[in-house]
Each structure stands twice: as structure tokens, then as C-alpha cells.
Amino acid sequence: MTAPGLPQPEPGADHPGVPDAFGRLWTPHRMAYIDGEGKPTDDAPGQGCPFCRAPGRPDEEALIVHRGEAAYVVLNLYPYNPGHLLICPYRHVSDPTELDDSEHEEISRLTTRSLQVVRAVSAPHGFNLGMNVGAVAGAGIAAHLHQHVVPRWGGDANFLAIVARTKALPQVLGETRRLLAEAWTGTAGILDDGADG
């Protein structure tokens, strides 16, 4: 990949110390996750919860792709793949059984719409959809439920993810958000479903 603006592996021979044959791909955004940056210290709603806090910030800053009535769509700050979206109810609830009918309906509709938008923008080969309910099930922020929409490409689960738990992401989050938000509102002219804006 040589597209301008994309991170490129740096040749190992350029680094100090004993040269080796391995390139270096820097993923410093992962360090914030490893350090627990932005992670709530308790389960309370409000400013301590990233998913309660995000809708109060500008879209570009919070990486929000679309705002619905009862739920919104935001880029995962620590994506497994480019275009990894989260569908969050505005309400701070931890379990799907606590959602009311309108929240259920909108989360489902926004999930479907996310598939259309991500397909239009980046043509993934498949998706993983789902919720991790409870910290033991892998939820990073268990107190405020969120539906994952993870685009998948053949061969994307390579050794780096498995061995180092690190993903090399070829697109910066701000650019990904812009592309998805434009496709969502149809300004890219590739979608004809304007039902939810």
C-alpha cells in the first residue's frame, strides 16, 4: 500500500541497534487502550461514561457517524478493523432486557443501515455483529451496552492480531468517520435509503 497519508511500515534497518529484517508498524493508539485511558472507573451514567459523554461533543471530536432518536452510531476508538462501528442507546443501560421497544427497534435499524453504509464505503467481505453483555463476556465498557458492527476482509485476522493483539490500521479514525458520515447521509450518492437521515 502506497496511498498518501497511510501509515507505512518502517524498515528495521533504519532503526538504531542491531538491524533486522522486520519492518515496524507503529500503533500508538493501542497504548491508550492498554493504559485504560478514557475507561470509566465505575458503572455510573454521566460524564464518567464514554458512551454517555460522546453525544454531548461535536461529531468530529466524538467520532459520531450518525445520531438517531434513541440511539447513535460511533466509531470504535480502539477498532478491530477500519470502520468498526458501535450502535449505542443514549440511555445508560447495561443489558438488552432493559431496552424499551423503540430502542430495540432503532438499534436494529441502525445496525442494518451500518452494514449498507460500510459496504458502500469499503466493500468488506463479511461482518461480525454482536454485543458483549458483561465484563466477563468481553465488554470493555459493560455498564453502557453497545452493538458492535465489525467489517471483515479475507485474511484480516493475521498473525499480528493473534500473537501481538495489535491491528495495523491503514486509515486514520477521523478520515474513516468522514467517509462513513457522508455515505450515511447519502452525499456520496451511493445510497438511496434516506429514511433515517
CA 40/CA 55 separation, integer angstroms:
16
Is there binding between residue 52 and Zn ion (CB under 5 A)?
A: yes
C-alpha cell at 111: 445496525
Question: Which stretch, 26-34, 43-51, 111-119, 146-154, contacts Zn ion (CB under 5 A)?
Answer: 43-51
Contact letters for Zn ion, residues 157-186 (x by CB under 5 A):
------------------------------
Whole-angstrom Cα distance, residue 92 to residue 108? Answer: 17
Quick check: is 92 catalytic? no
Measure the CA–CA gap between 88 and 77, rounded to whole angstroms.
14
Can you tell me which of 66, 84, 113, 144 binds Zn ion, judged by CB under 5 A?
144
Please enumerate in sequence order all residues whose Cβ is within 8 A of that of 112, keeping only pairs 6 or more positions apart, or say none: none
Active-site choice (84, 144, 146, 148): 146
Told to check if 64 binds Zn ion by CB under 5 A, we report no
Closest approach, Cβ 102 to Zn ion, in A, equals 18
φ/ψ (deg, to 5) at 12: -60, -30
- In whole angstroms, how close is the CB of 44 to Zn ion at the nearest point? 8
Minimum separation from the CB atom of position 107 to Zn ion (A): 15
Q: Work out whether 49 is an interface residue with Zn ion (CB under 5 A).
A: yes
Q: Does 113 bind Zn ion (CB under 5 A)?
A: no
Strand (E) or helix (H) holding 87: strand 85-89
One symbol per residue from 69 to 98: x for binding Zn ion (CB under 5 A), - otherwise; what is it? Answer: -----------------------x------
- C-alpha cell read off for 83: 470502520
Cα(113)–Cα(30) distance, integer angstroms = 28
Binding of Zn ion by 66 (CB under 5 A)? no
Residues 6+ apart with CB under 8 A from 127: 115, 118, 149, 150, 151, 152
- Integer-rounded Cα Rg, in Å, for the chain is 18
Residue 51 interacts with Zn ion (CB under 5 A)?
yes
List of residues contacting Zn ion (CB under 5 A): 45, 49, 51-52, 92, 144
Active site residues: 146
